[in-house]
Amino acid sequence: MFTGIIESVGSLRKIERRGDDIRLSVASGKLDLSDVRLGDSIATHGVCLTVVACMNDGYVADISAETVSLTGFSHYQVGDKVNLEKAVTPTTRLGGHMVSGHVDGVARVDDRQYRGKAIEFWLTAPAHLARYIAHKGSITIDGVSLTVNEVSGNRFRLTIVPHTAGETTLVDLKMGDTVNIEVDLIARHLERLMNYDSDKPDVPESTVTMDLLARSGFLR
């Protein structure tokens, strides 16, 4: 589990193709690896990767074909910058939102404009993910926890404040770029819960209704 608060910007040191899979070597930048052990998880551009080798200044991880197909890793090149965050601990401040590191797909940057000192982006998400993106809801972009400020169909607007821009790779995004996105995991599980009885007719019907969600403050 992660929070989407980026700890370091690293870079891709080596990309080794292994059939449909990838073995990745990452230079970790200022990320403190002193407490990282084999098998630990590090979110790399929003993707939860398991450390299979660790050095003082980086780590190695394997990326499965499934992950490659849902993320931008098939297009990344040696030297590309990546946002990094270690998995949370029981004492970690949850400054962002609950992030699993299980990327749902990629979105395209349609527009970039400055508004004051902040950068505003419009992005287009895959149609099948748009229903999980809500006004003032949370979304993860290349591992960064952000608030959705406007939604129009499957397009959504983000505002990147100067601090976030300076501490992540988002400052380098330009029109036409693609980013890894993870939608709010509560929305995904809530949808599954509401539809579970239709998938499994022998399971008792769910007591979660639209009226219950509205009365509980989940719907407006």
What is the helix, strand, coil percentage profile of the chain, to 5? 20, 40, 40
Q: Residue 78 is which amino acid?
A: V
- Fold annotation for 105-183: Elongation Factor Tu (Ef-tu); domain 3 (2.40.30)
pLDDT per position as a tens digit, 123-182: 999 999 999 999 999 999 999 999 999 999 999 999 999 999 999 999 999 999 999 999
Question: Which phi and psi (to 5°) does residue 95 adopt?
Answer: -75, -20
Residue 31 near residue 109, CB atoms below 8 Å? no
Query: Quick one: fold of 8-86?
Result: Elongation Factor Tu (Ef-tu); domain 3 (2.40.30)
Q: Break the chain into its structural domains and give their ranges.
A: 8-86, 105-183, 186-215
CB 132 within 8 A of CB 140: no
pTM of the complete model: 0.86
User: Which tens digit of pLDDT belongs to each residue from 167-188?
Assistant: 999 999 999 999 999 999 888 8
Same fold, 8-86 and 105-183: yes
Residue numbers of the chain with a pLDDT score lower than 70: 197-210, 212-220
